[in-house]
């Protein structure tokens, strides 16, 4: 596994794990990599300093052991399922409906759907509480 430091077009930094550099290039070319903050699919690798064995100071980021990564993936899957099972799906009307709920013009309830990065930014700037939904796990046919 290779861990890359990634950044989206809006300068949101995050990490991604890939089986190989070829896997990253393939997923990037098919726009399968998405920013967890704004859902932008315009993602590139950041410049990374290599880890050097024997250095005294560490910068604080520690790779999680495989069982912990698996536990986190399962937790994110459960969170997504909880939302899908209990919230109203509003499709691409998410930004409009979230704003209507925030302003009291629509029934107060949990919703999920799609929004552009610009719509999400405007909602956040106006004090509307939104959060990205963890991505759906890849289909077995999409894995290498």
pLDDT tens for 86-95 read 999 999 999 9
pTM for this structure? 0.52
Residue 142, in any domain of the structure: no
- Name the domain count of the chain: 2
Return the sign of the alpha-carbon dihedral for residues 113, 119, 121, 122.
negative
Strands (E), the chain: 2-8, 13-18, 43-45, 88-91, 111-113
Residues 73 and 123 in one domain: yes
Residues 26 and 73 in one domain: no
Q: What is the pLDDT of residue 103?
A: 94
pLDDT tens for 19-66 read 778 888 888 888 889 998 899 999 998 876 555 555 555 555 556 677
Q: Which domain holds residue 131?
A: 66-135
- CB proximity list for 132: less than 8 A, separation 6 or greater: 36, 37, 38, 39
Look up residue 87 and give its two tokens: 């919230």
Residues 42 and 70 in one domain: no
Residue 52, in any domain of the structure: no
Q: What is the pLDDT of residue 48?
A: 62
Residues comprising the chain, all counted = 144
Residues 74 and 115 in one domain: yes
pLDDT tens for 102-111 read 999 999 999 9
Residues 33 and 73 in one domain: no
d(CA 19, CA 65): 16
Q: Are strands 88-91 and 111-113 parallel, antiparallel or unpaired?
A: parallel
Residues 126 and 73 in one domain: yes
């Amino acid at each position: 596994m290779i861990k890359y430091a990634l950044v989206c077009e809006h300068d949101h930094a995050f990490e991604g794990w890939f089986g190989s550099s070829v896997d990253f290039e393939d997923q990037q070319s098919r726009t399968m990599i998405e920013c967890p903050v704004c859902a932008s699919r315009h993602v590139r690798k950041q410049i990374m300093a290599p880890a050097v064995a024997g250095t005294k100071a560490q910068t604080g980021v520690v790779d999680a052991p495989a069982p912990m990564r698996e536990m986190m993936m399962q937790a994110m899957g459960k969170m997504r399922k909880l939302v899908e099972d209990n919230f109203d799906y509003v499709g691409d009307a998410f930004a409009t409906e979230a704003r209507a709920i925030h302003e009291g013009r629509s029934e107060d309830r949990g919703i999920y759907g799609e929004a552009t990065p610009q719509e999400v930014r405007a909602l956040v700037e106006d004090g509307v509480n939104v959060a990205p939904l963890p991505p759906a796990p890849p289909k077995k046919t999409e894995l290498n």
